[in-house]
Chains A and B, each alone.
Chain A
Amino acid sequence: MKALALVLAAVCAAPLSAAQLGEPDSRPEAEVRALERKLARAQVLKDNFALDALFDNTLIYVEVDGTLLSKGDYLAKAVRPESVLVEVVVESMAVHAFDATVIVDGIYSEKRMRDGQVYVQRRRSMDTWVNEKGNWICVAAAARPAPR
């Protein structure tokens, strides 16, 4: 009986959900988080079919050194054999929803194999997703070196 009372007290004391507080629906954030994970997987697997679906045709992609790539440039580069992306580990991801646009600010480390050597580099990224006809699509992605 005492335990039950404690459980009830805990439930009653639980913070109100976002919906109860009248805050925006969290679905866009959850959907885009899942798409970011899918994007990382597709990059590692060199899955250009998946990347093509995730990126808008007008994609603006800024590489870590500031080079600007179009979607075509990016997809062509993704399958090049000279530098193999082995792993992407997302360290943090903050999702900011603005109606039909979502900004994702993240820190990740990527492991690459080049000339038989493994390199691990830490990056900070900012991606912009827009909802077009019910689907979220990445229209801009930019990366930069992140401090260790």
Chain B
Amino acid sequence: MPTGLRSAIMLVVLAGAGGARVCAQSASDPDAVAKVLALERLWGQASALRDIKALDFIFDDDLVNLDIDGRLMTKAQTLADTLTAGAVQIVVESTSAQAHGKTVIVTGVLRLKGVDAGKPYLRHGRFVDTWMYRRSHWVCVASETTPIGTR
């Protein structure tokens, strides 16, 4: 199923900024968490628009992306998947972020709704994204999504 996490044409419906929980532990940048959460939203919008230039800016060159289907992808593969995957609606239900110096961990729950080979599907997953401050801006270095309810 071509449901690369946020790497498809998608409509991102954020569950409201009030749903975000923020915990800054020891960030050298006091706005780190806010900036990263803004980039998370930008990620969704860029995917919806297939804005490869924006995604190229958001992802570190050495991105490690393990999507909800268990596909381990590089940055190049993730960008290629964005261009080729089918339409999917993503609803981010909640997010929280923790800062550890120049690293921010974002976790949240999302729902993926789309059609694959003419059949509708609905997926539910929990994601963990790792962001780092590198070369003067925040970039996502790793992303993992675990399907909820599967053992």
Contact = CB atoms under 8 A, between A and B. Distances in A.
A145 B151 contact: yes
Contacts of B132: 98-99, 101
B66 A105 contact: yes
A66 B150 contact: yes
Contact of A103 (B125, B130, B151): B130
B101 interface: yes
Interface of B: 23, 25-26, 60, 62, 64, 66, 70, 72, 98, 100-103, 105, 107, 124-126, 128, 130, 132, 134, 141-142, 144, 146-151
Given A99-B134, A103-B142, A139-B98, A128 B148 contact: no
Contacts, number: 104
Interface of A: 56, 58, 60, 62-68, 96, 98-101, 103, 105, 121, 124, 126, 128, 130, 132, 139-140, 142-147
Given A96-B62, A142-B144, A66 B124 contact: yes
Contact of B128 (A67, A101, A128, A132): A128
B79 to A, nearest CB: 18
Given A58-B25, A98-B141, A103-B64, A66 B102 contact: no
B98 A58 contact: yes
**Chief secondary structure at chain B's binding surface:** strand
B151 A126 contact: no
Contacts of B147: 66, 144
Nearest to A65: B151
B66 to A, nearest CB: 5
16 contacts: A62-B144, A65-B149, A66-B124, A66-B146, A66-B148, A96-B64, A98-B60, A98-B62, A98-B134, A128-B103, A130-B103, A132-B101, A140-B105, A140-B128, A143-B146, A144-B144
